[in-house]
Amino acid sequence: MTATTSWSPRPAFVPGQQRLGRSDCKRFLGILHGHHPYHWTLHFEDLDPKRFEDLVRQLAYEFKPWRRLEATGRSGGDDGFDARGYEIVAREAEPSASAEEGETVEERSTFNEGIDDRLWLIQCKRERAIGPTALVKYLDDTVLGEDERLHGLVFTAACDFSKKARDGFAKKCREMEIEEWHLWGKAELEDRLFRPENDHLLFAYFGVSLTIRRRSQRADLRARLVMKRKTHRILKDRSHAALLLRSPDATEYPYIDDLADFKKNPQWMVWPYRGMSFDGLKFCVQRYFAYLSDDGKSWDAAMAVNDARSGTHDDPWLGEDGHDDKRQTIFEFWSNIPKANQAWVEVVGIVLFEDVLDIDDLGDECVQVPHVYAPFASGRRGPFKRFIAVVEAIDGWDGRSFYPEKMSDGRIEYFPAVVRELNDDSK
């Protein structure tokens, strides 16, 4: 659904709630297919080169059972070794005879460090792109000692590798008689970082923690469901009744020094409640006498008087609007419209469940109805995050309705011009 960014002087028209917007559908489909609706892009290229080497080395700690894993690249002159590891490899058990029992038993032989251990090279390149030729050249620059035999190689880079580069890398490793080789590009590094056992590294280097996020999501979900259940329990029998929406920052409640200024930047307001949406509480913020064509594709409304505004009985801060005569004129005109074409235009504002801080079901001596506490935006937008507009025939059995995305969609000139446009008190 399209969300407006500010309270417009004109009605905030968006599609009806029966239709989901493209972004909503993508988000819901992502959840259904097991993908989180939010995706982090890890910018390895933004890390300091030494910091990138540290990250790769720490990711490699659980890769093999190391006797030693040395950060050789930190001091320079590393012969192509940003990290050097010695993999522990024990010889197979050798049979030996027991002198006392004359039986053959298995004894595990000892192994000599540097002889039985396997030498691994870890190279780290924090570059945005590495082609096939450059990748092979990095291997050519590797320098080994006379008594060193390279068993395995892990080449890591902060970029993705093409198939051609990967094939050339594998061919070169075979020519160098390397027994194991691994090419960790950006995708492989992300895969390793998103494993639960590496969540501490994800947080340390990028400030992102899937574990913390899951806890936060669980807490947010519980809070939202608790508020949804509480709303249903308190307000289930109050649909179409007036409720007070109130900002927690409105310390001056219920007193108003300047009514005109208050209307421009209200901190509390009384609106008719329209029940719950899938994501929050619905309140009717604008309601106008309207005309809807037989085919349900064109409409008009008398927007000079907002019929959603309660009388002073429900809203003691409303003041005398002086619209009684104008409303009577509109009503008389509307009453002469064929009944099949009589309609209402309603604009419904949504207060998200997560924005509802609490509900006071007792009310007070000023407004003896439940008070819904939620943060208010500056201006006339109030606590609403999005709006829904619908033009609907008064005959419920008819089923004709129209959901304009903006005020001009399908609107024709049917009512007298003097009552078609909004006045200041109705905005």
> Which of the residue ranges 19-23, 188-192, 413-417 would you say has the lowest mean pLDDT?
19-23
Over 50: is that where the pLDDT of 55 sits? Answer: yes
Over 60: is that where the pLDDT of 194 sits? Answer: yes
pLDDT tens, position by position, 223-250: 999 999 999 999 999 988 999 999 999 9
| Domains of the chain as residue ranges with CATH | 22-27+237-426 (no CATH), 44-207 (3.40.91)
Over 90: is that where the pLDDT of 312 sits? Answer: no
**pLDDT band per the 50, 70, 90 thresholds, residue 26:** very low
Q: What is the pLDDT of residue 391?
A: 92
Q: What is the mean pLDDT of the chain?
A: 82
Burial class from Cβ neighbours inside 10 Å (0-12, 13-18, 19+) for residue 144 reads: middle
**pLDDT band per the 50, 70, 90 thresholds, residue 75:** low
Of residues 141, 131, 139, the one with CA closest to residue 165: 131
Mean pLDDT of 69-93: 75
Q: What is the pLDDT of residue 191?
A: 92
Over 90: is that where the pLDDT of 4 sits? Answer: no
Q: What is the pLDDT of residue 228?
A: 94
pLDDT tens, position by position, 104-148: 555 554 445 556 889 999 999 988 899 999 999 998 888 887 778
> Which of the residue ranges 14-28, 70-84, 87-101, 253-267 would you say has the lowest mean pLDDT?
14-28
Q: What is the pLDDT of residue 373?
A: 96
> Which of the residue ranges 94-103, 196-205, 349-358, 418-427 would you say has the lowest mean pLDDT?
94-103
Q: What is the pLDDT of residue 112?
A: 54
Evaluate whether 402 touches 299 at the Cβ level (below 8 Å): yes
State percent of the chain over pLDDT 90: 49
Q: What is the pLDDT of residue 133?
A: 93
With the C-alpha atoms ordered 280, 283, 286, 287, is the resulting torsion angle positive or negative? positive
Mean pLDDT of 297-310: 88
> Which of the residue ranges 54-68, 199-213, 300-314, 347-361 would you say has the lowest mean pLDDT?
300-314
Over 60: is that where the pLDDT of 328 sits? Answer: yes
Q: What is the pLDDT of residue 93?
A: 52
Global pTM value: 0.59
Q: What is the pLDDT of residue 39?
A: 56
